[in-house]
Structure 1
Amino acid sequence: MKPGILVISHGSREAAWVKLVDDAVIAAAASPCLSDIPIVSSFLEIIEGRLIQDGIDELERQGVTDMYVVPFFISSGSTHVDEIGQAFGLPWLTDLEGDLGTFRVSANVRYGLPIDDDPEIAELLAANIAELSTEPEKEALLLIGHGSKEKMFHERWQEGLLKLGERLRALGGYKRAEYAMLLPDQAAAKLAEMQAANPGEAVIVVPLFLSRGYFTNHVIPTRLTGLEYRYNGKAMLPNQAIERWLERQMLEGLQRLNEK
């Protein structure tokens, strides 16, 4: 058996976004425990020459017979996580069919899990927003994630956001934590509802995205136009906590491959 690891993230037209992801994967792969393991970072779309099939082909070119796939995504509610699994021949979560087709792969494949409510990532987010807080016992959090309209995926997003919100509330001593999704468009209505229910309460908006870009810089501020809130737009990358999360996924994946 020769194990290898394929990291899959979404991809972006912004070169800085791609570099942040690549840098995190490179840092995780630098672990001495991973020194002899082929590791390839690939993308769901946009990055020609580095798409998922390219990554599979590269690992198999290096002789990999057993491949662990790390879905570098925020939530198990992402339809992308399921469509990637479908393309590897794994059972569908619902009857929603992805458009990736079926990958050409000879290696045995094991599929990991995305970030969801990972405790160390919650600490990362808590540090991101700490600068916005003055009296946490009088402040509320509003977590905003991409979300999904699709049944079951929507519920998975809800579950992860609830758990992550509670982690953040407890870590910072905040009064409460709420959540909203961009899909469906819930953010403005949720923020307005929070302010109507608790006049004068400061709300800190927490973006749940891997890297700063279109959603953190444009979509969230635009959706919340005219409303009062605190926001610094900080995303998860760059941060050593993400690098450690990736390293943990890789090491646990190798253990799973050895247990098969």
Structure 2
Amino acid sequence: MKPGVLIISHGSPDAAWVRLVDDSVTKLELPAEMPVAASFLEVVEGRLIQDGIDHLEEEEGVTDLIVIPLFVSSGSTHIDEIAYALGVKPFPEKETDLEPFRVRARVHFGEPVDDDPVIAHMVWDKIKAISAEREREVVLLVGHGSVHDGFRQHWERGISSLAEHVREIGGVKHADYALLNPDSLAAKTRYWSEERGMDVLVAPLFLSGGYFTKKAIPGRLEGLKYRYSGEALLPHPMLNDWIQRQIFTIMKSLTL
């Protein structure tokens, strides 16, 4: 048995986005003999998922593939289609154009972020600088969401629990969440600021900065009262802790 790690994230045409993921992967503290490949669902040519599989199997001789899905919610349709294409599940819950990958190694599929307390600490680290009077504040955690039934419920369960973890860590009065799909961001912000009289700390739940953190969220909040750091999860050293814990948990199951 020779295990290897395949870390999968969405991908972006923005080289800085890709570089943030790569920087986190290079800082992982793993056994020297354990090869790691960072791959992307789309856009990043030469670094797609099949490229990562081929590298680990053909060049590194990997027999057991530890797959870490670097996505913030199990409600992402991408988790569903990737798991299907890797042979982890017999069929996707939602129709996909993603063809099954060529993979010979045994696949051990990890978990996305959801409500992991480590991620909650990362979220609070990103917004604590804009907190001033915690008894008057509400953390409003904002995620992409999904309009698809079933997937939306996964999003809601994970992000609501994560928001509560952030509230406990930061000691603020309240926590809530909003999704961009279906859009509830402006309505939630207006409720907390105008009806409840709270200071709203808007926290984006996105892996890396880009269109959603820089354009979509501020655009939907135009004219409303809120505070916003605009910082995505990366860069942050605790993401490495989250990835490593998943890897070692799976490794332990392989050696039982």
Structure 1 range deviating more: 50-59 or 238-247: 238-247
Alignment correspondent of 1:209:
206
Name the TM-score, length of structure 2 as normaliser.
0.96
Alignment correspondent of 1:103:
101
Shift of residue 230 of structure 1?
0.2
Aligned alpha-carbon RMSD (Å): 1.3
CA distance in 2, matches of 1:245, 1:165: 18
SS at match of 1:13: coil
Confirm or deny that 1:25 pairs with 2:25: yes
Structure 1 range deviating more: 242-251 or 73-82: 242-251
- Contact (CA 8 Å) 1:123, 1:168: kept in 2 or not? yes
Q: 1:146 aligns with which of 144, 147, 153?
A: 144
SS at match of 1:182: strand
Aligned residues: 255
Instruction: Describe the shift of the 1:72–1:174 C-alpha distance in structure 2 as closer, same or farther (beyond 3 A).
Output: same
Q: 1:236 aligns with which of 222, 233, 237?
A: 233
Confirm or deny that 1:13 pairs with 2:10: no
Q: 2:125 aligns with which of 115, 124, 127?
A: 127
SS at match of 1:95: coil
Superposed CA offset, 1:135-181 (max 9, x none) = 10111111100111111111111111111111111111111111110
CA distance in 2, matches of 1:93, 1:194: 41
CA distance in 2, matches of 1:175, 1:141: 8
- Contact (CA 8 Å) 1:148, 1:184: kept in 2 or not? yes
SS at match of 2:227: coil
Structure 1 range deviating more: 163-172 or 90-99: 90-99
Amino acid at match of 1:227: L
Return 5+ residue gaps in structure 1 as ranges.
Answer: none
Alignment correspondent of 1:116:
114
Alignment correspondent of 2:61:
63
- Contact (CA 8 Å) 1:75, 1:157: kept in 2 or not? yes
CA distance in 2, matches of 1:233, 1:174: 19
Amino acid at match of 1:48: E
CA distance in 2, matches of 1:250, 1:43: 18
SS at match of 2:130: coil
Return 5+ residue gaps in structure 2 as ranges.
Answer: none
CA distance in 1, matches of 2:167, 2:235: 23
Instruction: Describe the shift of the 1:42–1:162 C-alpha distance in structure 2 as closer, same or farther (beyond 3 A).
Output: same
Shift of residue 196 of structure 1?
3.2
CA distance in 2, matches of 1:34, 1:127: 29
Name the TM-score, length of structure 1 as normaliser.
0.94
Alignment correspondent of 1:167:
165
Superposed CA offset, 1:7-62 (max 9, x none) = 0000001100000000101111xx1x421101110000000111000100101111
Shift of residue 251 of structure 1?
1.7
CA distance in 2, matches of 1:53, 1:145: 28
- Contact (CA 8 Å) 1:86, 1:98: kept in 2 or not? no
Alignment correspondent of 1:48:
45
Q: Which runs of 4+ in 1 moved over 6 A?
A: none
